[in-house]
Amino acid sequence: MLSAIPVITIDGPSASGKGTIAEHIAYKLGFRYLDSGAIYRVAALAGERAGVPLDDEAALAAMASNLVLRFEDGRIFLNNEDVTQAVRSESAGKNASKIAVFPRLREALLARQREFRRQPGLVADGRDMGSVVFPDAVLKIYLTASVEARAERRYKQLKEKGMHANLAAILEDLRLRDLRDSSRVAAPLRICADSIVLDTTPLTIDDTVAFVLEKYRSISGGATSVR
């Protein structure tokens, strides 16, 4: 039964560190990992390449239903092409945020996300993992941080990758994404009643990972093997 497979959800706004934390937790527990944002980034990239306007909800939903997509060893493949770098760009992130407001597109991608729930367990990060995709998750974490701290983190990440970055532009973009994600009709960004909220502004990655692992240990009765 799928309900017997444990799921940990890590939700939160853009650049709150949820992806990094989710990857670390998945590795520590030996669980599978789902980067839901990457799925929307791939959908936006596929739409662009196919000449589909990013405001055409019906066409995007139809296309998303037929995506040939796979995740393998930290890489993302679309039609067997490695598109990891392309979907990690700032423009891909902006486009993903734009199309994520469409209910029909979200419905088309819902089943695909749930397919990642396999033994021995799953750690999923996104904006509606706990509220919509995996409402029965055994542990729901909501990471937050000040928009200034998130902008600085994103700026640092881009510079470390050798990419052009403007801190003021990143800050403004995050504010717009926050507004768009929290006000959209379909699966808006929100804190579930059963989520544990953690402000990561003053915390390191190790601090946050340790916090989540401790919460999971308490739920699983301490019978968890950690690498």
In sequence order, which ranges of the chain are alpha helices (DSSP H)?
Answer: 18-29, 36-49, 57-64, 84-87, 90-99, 103-114, 147-160, 167-183, 205-220
Count of other CB atoms within 10 angstroms of residue 3: 9
Give the distance from CA 45 to its chain's centroid.
16
Pick from 36, 27, 160, 173: which is nearest to 91 by CA?
Answer: 173
- Say if residue 112's pLDDT is above 90: no
Q: How many residues make up the chain in this entry?
A: 227
The two structure tokens encoding residue 227 = 């690498």
Return the exposure string of 208-220: e unless at least 16 CB atoms fall within 10 Å of the residue's CB, then b: bbebbbebbeeee
Residue 166's pLDDT is what?
Answer: 93
- Please check the confidence at residue 222 and state whether its pLDDT lies above 70: no
Q: Which fold has domain 2-216?
A: Rossmann fold (3.40.50)
Q: Where are the domains of the chain?
A: 2-216
Q: What single-letter amino acid sits at 110?
A: L
Angle subtended at Cα 199 by Cα 151 and Cα 210, rounded to the nearest 5 degrees: 110
- Residue pLDDT, tens place only, 170-213: 999 999 989 888 888 777 888 999 999 999 999 999 999 999 99
- pLDDT tens per residue, range 34-56: 999 899 999 999 998 999 999 99
Residue pLDDT, tens place only, 93-108: 889 988 988 999 999 9
